[in-house]
């Protein structure tokens, strides 16, 4: 129960988006592949995967190992064996139908009217090309349709394809009980194994059948035959009854309403299952608390007030104890973890900052168990400016007869900005070490200034030193 | 810095509290009270290796540690009334020793000294301050090899 509460308390909006996106992808895969052999194999692989997890949780080491092996091999095999089917599914659909197109149920068509009209056209020596769309959108595959929207009847179809009708050469699209469009241009098939007796109408029918799941019916003007094209196949239909059966099988005319409802139920169930499956996978992957690791992470001090300086910190890095699934923790990179302390509310002096979960940034799915030390002391101080004298830091050994009698520095003072506390203990800024080893006559030289504390900023960093060398009196 | 006047007499030699510094002063033959408007004036302050006849010898800014000691010489004229001054020796910014001198009218000279060790190499300064902690002079020098 505690785990369940913890689970929901820890879910972020990113997690919800993560689940939603992957559920949708899974659902789309189902929509695209349902009814295909590849889909059935995919379901089999999913069952194997679940079995593997189950065996693992039960401690069945060898079983889980074997199932995992089979699952991996099966995943490779599915791509090899079903590559043609996968390709045809993906090629036949446009981007819209792959990403968000929703399959429509096969539309009811007055099959008897269509069958009678086509055979009558065949007998009268008129050609015809009739499209009964399936579940896929045809708009990407066909062109130049003229809206017709006439109620389907035998006479209507015969009128459309009567040879004196200006649109009789194109195809007619029958949707539901309407002739929706006429004069539609179809893509031609490029297959070279078609009989020479097949003309342009047959190639057009096959071209559309190769690209979509529509049923295309062709009436040959020359031979007076009726043919049907579907799923890249074209075959001749002997009689009206056979045609009627094909049409009814395609559109499911007699049970069309019931089937649509069943489709909706099936898709709804698939959507719900997709969500549950992804939640299960997501939980397994990100919410496993089987591993605990420690990481030393440097602390980043953020939002320091501009008038303040950081004088000191009690630690430079903290030790984080984090938990999560082993898979996640193994992949974690140091740059994915950060510890940031907000100094915006700091005051001059010592500021104890308690480490909170908000201070620690972790990758999704990784939980913070502990921070050591829990409190970080940050000493802040106000930034001030101070005018300080400059002193030369002489080193080396001056030759015996000489003495450096006088030193003048230009400029003699320098403005220094830094922490008030640091500057209060400093009364001079020293130059870099200047050697006296070879000084035997008066002269000048230049030297850099070296601040005694790293946080101090100097208005200038170089000075000129004029020195007077005299001989030592005994 | 003004020259030391020849009529000075060294009257008091003080042993410094921490590092054996000595104070050399010249007592006035008559300690007549100075007018209240008259101020204490530091006429000479210098770092030197030694004293010769009461005068700083080889004043400078760099002294070798092999020299063994270094002196801070200060001379006041006039000294309007009995007063106190301090010589505060700093190695970098760390106070090493503070030596106190009592000045008596009408003039006074004094010196403080430290013994040099290897660890004393680096930049030094001596602050000469009065009894009100006003800095009268800061002398800067270095101890080298």
Question: pLDDT-derived band of residue A2, with 50, 70 and 90 as boundaries?
Answer: low
Task: For residue A393, give the nearest of B64, B93, B123 by CB distance.
Answer: B123
Residues with Cβ within 8 Å of residue B112, at least 6 apart in sequence: B16, B21, B22, B23, B71, B72, B87, B89, B97, B99, B101, B126
Mean pLDDT over A442-452 rounds to 94
pTM: 0.47
* pLDDT of residue A17 exceeding 60: yes
Q: Which residues in chain A are contacts of B90 at CB distance < 8 A?
A: 427
The domain segmentation of chain A, as residue ranges, is: 2-101+258-286, 111-251, 291-381, 383-471
Architecture of domain A383-471: Beta Complex (2.170)
Mean pLDDT over A364-392 rounds to 90
Contact B75, B44 (CB under 8 A): yes
* pLDDT of residue A144 exceeding 80: no
CA distance B98 to B19: 10
- Could you report the per-residue pLDDT of A82-139, keeping only the tens digit for each? 776 666 666 655 676 677 766 554 444 578 888 888 888 888 888 899 998 887 777 7
Higher model confidence: residue A267 or residue A431? A431
- Residue B113 belongs to a domain: yes
CATH top class, domain A291-381:
mainly beta
Question: pLDDT-derived band of residue B38, with 50, 70 and 90 as boundaries?
Answer: confident
- Residue B67 belongs to a domain: yes
Which DSSP symbol is given to A455? T
Which DSSP symbol is given to A185? B
Question: pLDDT-derived band of residue B144, with 50, 70 and 90 as boundaries?
Answer: very high
What is the separation of C-alpha A384 from the centre of its chain, rounded to a whole number of angstroms? 50
**A291-381 and A383-471 share one CATH topology?**
yes
Mean pLDDT over B114-140 rounds to 94
Question: pLDDT-derived band of residue A9, with 50, 70 and 90 as boundaries?
Answer: low
Q: How many CB atoms lie within 10 A of CB A423?
A: 21
Q: Using a CB–CB cutoff of 8 Å, tell me whether B93 touches chain A.
A: yes
What is the separation of C-alpha A287 from the centre of its chain, rounded to a whole number of angstroms? 20
Superfamily of domain A111-251: DNA integrity scanning protein, DisA, N-terminal domain (3.40.1700.10)
pLDDT, position B48: 94
Average model confidence (pLDDT) across chain B: 79
> ipTM > 0.85?
no
Q: Using a CB–CB cutoff of 8 Å, tell me whether B60 touches chain A.
A: yes
* pLDDT of residue A42 exceeding 60: yes
- Residue B66 belongs to a domain: yes
- Residue B110 belongs to a domain: yes
Q: How far is B34 from chain A (nearest CA, A)?
A: 35
CA distances A433 to A392, A427, A440, A450, Å, are 8, 18, 18, 9
Mean pLDDT over B57-79 rounds to 93
Closest Cα to residue B48, out of B25, B29, B71, B18? B71
CA distance A458 to A385: 10
* pLDDT of residue B12 exceeding 70: no
Task: For residue B142, give the nearest of A393, A397, A452 by CB distance.
Answer: A393
- What is the count of structural domains for chain B? 1
CATH code, B131: 2.60.40.2550
Question: pLDDT-derived band of residue A4, with 50, 70 and 90 as boundaries?
Answer: low
Contact A3, A288 (CB under 8 A): no
- The 3-class SS string of B60-88 reads CCEEEHHHCEEEEEEEECCCCCCEEEEEE
Look up residue A351 and give its two tokens. 């500021």
* pLDDT of residue A38 exceeding 90: no
Question: pLDDT-derived band of residue A473, with 50, 70 and 90 as boundaries?
Answer: confident
């Amino acid at each position: 129960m505690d785990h369940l509460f913890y689970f929901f308390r820890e879910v972020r909006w990113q997690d919800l988006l993560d689940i939603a996106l992957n559920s949708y992808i899974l659902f789309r895969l189902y929509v695209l592949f349902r009814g295909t052999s590849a889909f059935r194999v995919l379901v089999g692989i999913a069952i194997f995967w679940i079995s593997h997890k189950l065996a693992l949780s039960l401690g069945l080491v060898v079983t889980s190992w074997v199932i995992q092996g089979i699952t991996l091999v099966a995943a490779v095999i599915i791509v090899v064996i079903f590559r043609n089917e996968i390709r045809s599914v993906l090629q036949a659909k446009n981007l819209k139908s792959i990403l968000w197109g929703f399959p429509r149920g096969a539309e009811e068509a007055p099959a008897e009217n269509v069958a009678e009209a086509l055979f009558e056209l065949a007998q009268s020596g008129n050609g015809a090309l009739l499209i009964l769309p399936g579940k896929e959108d045809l708009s990407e595959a066909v062109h130049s349709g003229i809206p017709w929207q006439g109620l389907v009847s035998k006479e209507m179809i015969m009128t459309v394809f009567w040879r004196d009708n200006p649109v009789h050469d194109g195809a007619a699209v029958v949707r539901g009980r309407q002739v929706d469009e006429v004069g539609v241009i179809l893509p031609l098939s490029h297959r070279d194994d078609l009989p020479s007796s097949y003309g342009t109408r047959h190639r057009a029918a096959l071209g559309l059948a190769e690209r979509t799941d529509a049923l295309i019916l062709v009436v040959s003007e020359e031979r007076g035959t009726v043919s049907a094209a579907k799923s890249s196949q074209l075959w001749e239909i002997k009689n009206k009854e056979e045609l009627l059966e094909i049409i009814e099988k395609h559109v499911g005319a007699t049970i069309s309403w019931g089937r649509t409802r069943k489709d909706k139920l099936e898709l709804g169930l698939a959507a719900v299952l997709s969500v549950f499956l992804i939640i299960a996978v997501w939980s397994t992957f990100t919410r496993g608390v089987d591993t605990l690791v420690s990481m030393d992470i440097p602390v980043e001090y953020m939002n320091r007030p501009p008038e303040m300086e950081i004088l000191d910190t009690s630690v430079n890095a903290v030790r984080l104890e984090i938990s999560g699934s082993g898979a996640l923790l193994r992949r974690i990179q140091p740059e994915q973890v950060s510890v940031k302390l907000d100094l915006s509310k700091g005051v001059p002096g010592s500021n104890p900052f308690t480490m909170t979960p908000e201070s620690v940034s972790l990758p999704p799915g990784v939980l913070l168990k502990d921070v050591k030390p829990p409190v970080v002391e940050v000493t802040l101080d106000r930034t001030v400016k101070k005018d300080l004298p400059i002193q030369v830091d002489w080193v080396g050994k001056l030759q015996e007869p000489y003495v450096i009698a006088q030193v003048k520095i230009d400029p003699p003072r320098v403005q220094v900005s830094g922490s008030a506390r640091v500057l209060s203990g400093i009364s001079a800024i020293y130059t870099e070490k200047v050697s006296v080893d070879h000084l035997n006559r008066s002269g000048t030289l230049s030297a850099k200034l070296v601040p005694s504390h790293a946080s101090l900023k100097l208005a200038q960093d170089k000075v000129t030193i004029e020195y007077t060398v005299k001989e030592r009196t005994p | 810095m003004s020259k030391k006047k020849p009529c000075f007499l060294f009257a008091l030699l003080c042993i410094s509290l921490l590092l054996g510094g000595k104070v050399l002063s010249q007592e006035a033959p008559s300690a007549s009270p100075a007018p209240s408007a008259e101020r204490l004036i530091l006429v000479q302050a210098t770092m030197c290796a030694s004293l010769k006849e009461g005068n700083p010898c080889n004043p400078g800014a760099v002294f070798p540690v092999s020299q063994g000691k270094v002196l801070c010489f200060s001379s006041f004229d006039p000294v309007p009334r009995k007063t106190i001054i301090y010589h505060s020796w700093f190695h970098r910014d760390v106070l090493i020793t503070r030596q106190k001198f009592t000045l008596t009218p009408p003039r006074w000279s004094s010196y403080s000294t430290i013994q040099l060790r290897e660890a004393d190499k680096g930049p030094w300064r001596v602050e000469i301050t009065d009894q009100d902690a006003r800095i009268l002079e800061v002398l800067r020098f270095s101890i080298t090899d």
